[in-house]
Structures are given as structure tokens and as C-alpha cells.
Amino acid sequence: MGWRAFPDTIILLLGGWGILKGKRLVSIMLPAYALASRYIVSEILGQPGQDQIANFIIFPAYALGIIGAFARDRAARIHNKATDTRWVDADIAASFAHISGAAGLGFGILVGMFALADMGGFTWFNLTDAFLIILLAWYTLRRRLWAAASQLILSFCNMALSYAQTGSVSALFSFIPLFLFEIYALGVIGTAVLRHPGRQAGRQENTESGTGGPQPLTQNRPSPVLRREDTYREGGSSSS
């Protein structure tokens, strides 16, 4: 690959260091980046068999990195007696929504710029598409679940339409469409978690004790049990 491998090398090194530090966002974004770049790497190298072997080794390791980063952060929150002990808490969910919205805004602006620069039969269609992308991205930043889901659906429709027009598999599996689709999926997860912030309260005690449901405020006290020594025979004398 020559010099084209240099940016990947830097990204993989920094991303691997972030996973070692337990950064949850990095543990998600690095596998998404690697997965989106698989098609381009396979085309450049022309070695699909060896590429499949590399996927078999690398992506399970990435999956373990995701599990470890999220488990480590959740254990720290439980230790610090945080009120939100969900695997995907409000902080990381907000990061998902922000990244998804920012990616949509940037991509929508690029689509609009290219549509204006290359006037043709699809100019108005591309401008409308750019407007929808920007609009949905803006409401995704405002943590609207319907906008994040619509953003994901629109991305898939654009990929399918591009494949129908060109007949090229790269319209579905090239880096930019697939990577954006993965980021939009994170936006759906983040906005779905943020939609129910009330569910995070009151679970710390239940998590530490291992019980699944909420604990009652008052518990039934056991009724006193009389011992045989406290019973009396006829005549008022206690039993020995």
C-alpha cells in the first residue's frame, strides 16, 4: 500500500493506546473504522483470502476491547456509587449523539457543496438530500430519537440508490458510506438511551446487592416467637 498505509498506522496506534487506557468511545470507533476500511484494503492488496484470516483474528480482539472498556468504566462507576450504572450510561450516550450529529452536518455540507459545484440532472436531488441530511443531523444533536433513526434510514437509502445507479459494490461497502452508517447507528443507540434518563436513578443499591427489582422502603418485621422458657404452666410457675 505504500504511503497510503501511514495514516492507518497512526490511527491504529493511537486507537490501540486509547483502548489500553479504557476509553469507551475509542473502543467503538476504532473497530468501526477498521471494518469500514476492509473493502478498500482488500481491493488494494488483492488478497481476499488472507484478508479474511486477518478479520478472524482482529475483530474478535476488538470485540473484547469493547467489552473490557465498558465493563471497566461501569465497575468504576459502581465503586464510586454513581447513580447511573448502566452499561451505556448518559455520558457515553451523549457522545454517540454528538458524533452522529456532527458527522451528519459535515457530510450534508459536503454533499451540498459538490451539488452546487457540479450542476447537472441530479443537482436539485442532491441539494434536497443535503438539506435532509443537515436537518436530521441538527435534531440528532438535540438528542431526538426520530431524527437519529431517520438519519440511519436515509443513509441506507442513499447507499441502495447509489448501488442501483452504478451497480458497484463499493457504493455499499466503501469506506465513507459504511463508516457513516456505523456512526449513525451509534446515534440511534445514544438517543435511545438518553430518551429514558429516569431509569438510571435508584439502581445503585440494587446493583451492588445483586437484586433485580426495586427494594421496598419498609420491610415486614418478623413476628416475635415465644420460647418454651417463656411459657407458663398451670399455677404460674415457668418451665425449667
- pLDDT for 3-54, tens place per residue? 767 888 899 999 999 999 999 999 999 999 988 888 777 666 665 555 566 6
Residue 228 vs residues 221, 222, 232, 236, 238: alpha-carbon distances, Å: 21, 18, 8, 14, 9
* 43 and 125 inside one domain: no
Over residues 220-230, the mean pLDDT reads 51
The DSSP bridge partners found for residue 232 are 238
pLDDT at residue 105 above 90?
yes
Last residue of a domain, one of 186, 201, 216: 201
The number of C-alpha atoms within 13 Å of 146 and in the hemisphere containing its C-beta is: 1
91 and 77 within one domain: no
For residue 69, the one-letter residue type is A
- Among 167, 106, 113, smallest CA distance to 140 is for 106
How far apart are the C-alpha atoms of 86 and 78, rounded to whole Å? 10
Claim to verify: residue 98 and residue 177 sit in the same structural domain: yes
How many angstroms separate the CA atoms of 126 and 103, rounded? Answer: 17
How many domains are contained in the chain? 2
Residues 25 and 105 in one domain: no
Whether residues 112 and 97 fall in one domain: yes
Same domain, 106 and 186: yes
- Helices and strands: H and E segment counts in the chain: 10, 0
Q: Is residue 30 a part of any domain in this protein?
A: yes
Domain stop point among 168, 185, 201: 201
- As a whole number of angstroms, the distance between CA 98 and CA 137 comes to 9
In a domain, 236, yes or no: no
Domain that holds residue 182: 86-201
222 domain residue, yes or no: no
Pair 111, 151 in one domain: yes
Instruction: Say if residue 196 is in the same domain as residue 92.
Output: yes
Q: Check whether residue 167 and residue 186 sit in a common domain.
A: yes
pTM value is 0.75
